[in-house]
Structure 1
């Protein structure tokens, strides 16, 4: 009759120990908060609503901008970071630049604006869930207008800002400028949408995490989404490009809400550390 060594643990206990260590780690905490927030479902809703309500409005705004000669396709192509060939496929999907503005009536533009404001409401709800805040009252809807205006200004600045130098140094400076601008936008956007209910210092880590996450998503897009656009266009036609863009928007939603989750965790740990130091004193 054999006996197990006294120090050995059953596989189930080892698995539970590893699981407990993972859940206590940074990654486990983010995973747990993401499940509570239903992160993937919210990201898919973010992508669907963004494509249906925000994209038509941005197409019209881009057509009205003389500096962005290629319209919304140029915005999207630069945000995706795709190759010139894939950017051409995106351009074919959205048609002739400027045509949307010529064919849009005042009533149609007003309807697009209302639909675009719905997108701001969805982002606000996600941020409120991240910070466990009650739903804002109806009279705070003006904040959605401010958020939409900030988003349009941010996209215009993002597209129309050239790299300082056509070199590795210029590319690095451009990436740094994009990071600072993106961080500043999401820092202000969170403050606006949350109605000032969360302090600036608490919102900054989330804005920084979102900016870094979008930079990572852009690199991922260059490696994955750019060739996918070319191959899907051959296999599925224009709908293949739509599928890739929709997948990218899901990734943006994950980064936006996931960055806010990481920011709250950083803020909570910083507060707990300060309280522990105060108790020791």
Structure 2
């Protein structure tokens, strides 16, 4: 008898909670319609799928590109790239030694193995990241496929500029020798400028500069925060898996971190696009109140 009463009470309570939740959601949607639009945009963007695609392309195409760049670059630039990668992932101990071995002695070996034609092919294959980021930006703004025509040179320029930005990550994060008190603001400003320019370039100017700023700011906040967290998490995780599983384990750790990073960027760009299209900001930024396209791609 007690069990029957308990089941009846629980069903009644569950219905009451469900009704209360529906009332709260309805009131929230009425008072804060941006929440509904943001949820719809997140679903349209397909955050985790888009972020995973970008992360996978980075791992599969950018890493070989960095390998080729390091082999062809002067020794000073190669050392700067190694230092920046070490600062970016907070590599110390065994993981730092693995990075040094990765770039050690690659000059002649890679130059002979790859050559000029191979280097061009590696660069072109790396533009897969550009295309993946372009699709993410287009979905974040609800621009349908084909509405924004993108020239191939934009993909090449994007990957080339971001490779250059990667080289200077070390000095910027260190505040050019002054420490994190300057390095954190500089990282934030650099990331803001990079993602602001990225959206404008890969959208082909379909959206004006100012409407793109909220997404750039939110993405920069996410990247800066995660870069600080990487200094604590990545060395421990990489050194542990290197000891247990060898170099293959580090691939999974790196991919997991890249997915988290890309998810944060995707959320930042999508949220910024929705906020920029709200009436209050749209009037001040000159952005469209409604989606610039007729539907999601």
Give the TM-score range, shorter chain: 0.7 to 0.9
* Residue 131 of structure 1: how far off its partner (Å): 0.9
* Structure 2: distance between partners of 1:263 and 1:57: 31
Q: Is the 8 A contact 1:67 1:160 kept in 2?
A: no
Contact persistence 1:68–1:159 (CA under 8 A): no
Give the aligned partner of residue 52 of structure 2.
Answer: 44
1:51–1:273 distance in 2 versus 1, CA, 3 Å? closer
Partner of 1:211: 220
| Distance in 1 of aligned mates of 2:101 and 2:47 | 32
Task: Say yes or no: does 1:61 pair with 2:69.
Answer: yes
Pairwise CA RMSD: 3.0
1:180 aligns with 2:180: no
TM-score (norm 2): 0.77
- The 5 A counterparts of 1:9-20 are 10-20=16-26
Which is worse superposed, 106-115 or 91-100?
Answer: 91-100
Unmatched 5+ residue regions in structure 2? 1-8, 285-297
Would the alpha carbon gap of residues 25 and 75 (structure 1) be closer, same or farther in structure 2, given more than 3 Å must change? Answer: farther
Partner of 1:196: 205
Alpha-carbon deviation of 1:35?
2.4
Q: Which runs of 5+ in 1 are unaligned?
A: 276-281
Normalising by the residue count of structure 1, what TM-score does the alignment of the two structures yield? Answer: 0.81
* Inter-partner Cα distance in structure 2 for 1:119 and 1:30: 25
Q: Return the alpha-carbon distance in structure 1 between the equivalents of residues 74 and 280 of structure 2.
A: 45
CA drift at 1:20: 4.7
Q: Is the CA contact (8 Å cut-off) linking 1:68 and 1:160 kept in structure 2?
A: no
For the residues of structure 2 that align with 1:175 and 1:30, how far apart are their CA atoms? 29
- Deviation by residue 1:59-97 (Cα, 9 ceiling, x = unmatched): 222331433444755443322234455333444456645
Match for residue 116 of structure 2? 106
The answer to whether the 8 A contact 1:72-1:94 is kept is no
- Cα 1:269–1:79 change in 2 (3 A) is same
Superposed displacement of residue 228, structure 1: 0.9
Give the C-alpha shift of residue 45 in structure 1. Answer: 0.9
CA distance in 1 between counterparts of 2:238 and 2:270 reads 31
Following TM superposition, by how much is the alpha carbon of 1:115 offset from its aligned partner in structure 2, in angstroms? 0.2
Comparing 237-246 and 60-69, the one that deviates more: 60-69
Q: Is the 8 A contact 1:83 1:222 kept in 2?
A: no
Check conservation: 2:52, 2:262, Cα contact below 8 A. yes
How far the C-alpha of 1:216 sits from its partner, in A, is: 1.4
Q: 2:168 aligns with which of 157, 162, 166?
A: 157
State yes or no: 1:171 paired with 2:180: yes
